[in-house]
Structure 1
Amino acid sequence: MAIQFTAHEVSLGLKNRTALKKFLTDLFKREGQGLSGLHYIFCTDEYLLQINQQYLNHDTYTDIVTFEMSDDPAITEGEIYVSLDRVKENAKQFGVSVEHELHRVIFHGALHLCGFKDKTKKEEALMREKEEENLHLYFKK
């Protein structure tokens, strides 16, 4: 099982990658979801907008787009695209560090692949709760 972090036309200052990979592996275990592979691609607003338009028919900027690539619902093989432009903007808007917001989005994508949704108010509230839980677990060291 491999977890990869790739920067596409951006500079990625992601610290403690080994610890983060272990944490993500453990997140999937805690949620009872198998994991065969996970690839995070960090990119610009423009690149993610193209993906959003091409694959999801959404003409909006977003911080994250998540794709499940596996045919087996019990085993995740995922690609997660993250706009660092949006992460930085959201960090300012929410009054948190870029590092904190980046990890929130990283966990958000993983949680989507574990089956959590955020379309309704109830789903969104649970997603925020799970994000906070994982941020707390990760940064409590």
Structure 2
Amino acid sequence: MIDYNYETDFKLNNELEISNWISKVIGLEGCSEGDISYIFCDDTYLHKLNVEFLNHDTLTDIISFDYSIGKIIQGDIYISVERVAENAGTFGVAFDNELLRVMIHGILHYCGYTDKHETDKANMRAKETHYLNLWG
């Protein structure tokens, strides 16, 4: 089950459509859907988590806590909508497009993809783009 929580004024307009898309991606990756929570917040909220849990004193757009068991995908995905908005401007893409990219990025991590090295980053970006094309 995919759940959405809001620690800011931001709200998704199409939770059901997004949930269906994410469920499809999980299935296409050969995994099963467990309990997944998205928590939308601001930079301050996410920065605090980044410092407290990851020892990183930087701003980021996403932090995910993976509780997956085998191929059952589950966890908490925190997204700073402020950071997503700024990144959308930087990359010259629509906010909604960047938000979906970040949302599926967290899922891809749960499916076993990493982005620590350049080749991994390129593979992750290709997967994100592939699945974004399934959205629209």
TM-score range, shorter chain: over 0.9
Q: Which residue, out of 9, 22, 25, partners 1:24?
A: 22
Once superposed, which parts of structure 1, at least 4 consecutive aligned residues long, lie more than 4 Å away? none
What is the rounded CA distance, in whole Å, between the counterparts of 2:12 and 2:133 in structure 1? 18
Give the structure 2 partner of residue 78 of structure 1. Answer: 75
What code does the residue aligned with 2:4 have? Answer: F
User: Residue 119 in 1 paired to residue 104 in 2?
Assistant: no
What is the rounded CA distance, in whole Å, between the counterparts of 1:85 and 1:77 in structure 2? 25
Give the structure 2 partner of residue 36 of structure 1. Answer: 34
Q: Which runs of 5+ in 2 are unaligned?
A: none
CA shift, 1:77, in A, is 1.7
CA shift, 1:76, in A, is 1.8
What code does the residue aligned with 2:32 have? Answer: G
Give the structure 2 partner of residue 108 of structure 1. Answer: 105
CA shift, 1:73, in A, is 2.3
User: Residue 93 in 1 paired to residue 90 in 2?
Assistant: yes
Give the structure 2 partner of residue 7 of structure 1. Answer: 6
What code does the residue aligned with 1:55 have? Answer: F
How high is the sequence identity, in percent, across the aligned residues? Answer: 40
Q: Could you tell me the TM-score, scaled by structure 2's length?
A: 0.96
Q: Report the number of matched residues.
A: 136
CA shift, 1:5, in A, is 1.1
SS of 2:87 mapped into structure 1: helix
Q: Which runs of 5+ in 1 are unaligned?
A: none
Query: What is the RMSD computed on CA atoms of the aligned residues?
Result: 1.0
Q: Could you tell me the TM-score, scaled by structure 1's length?
A: 0.92
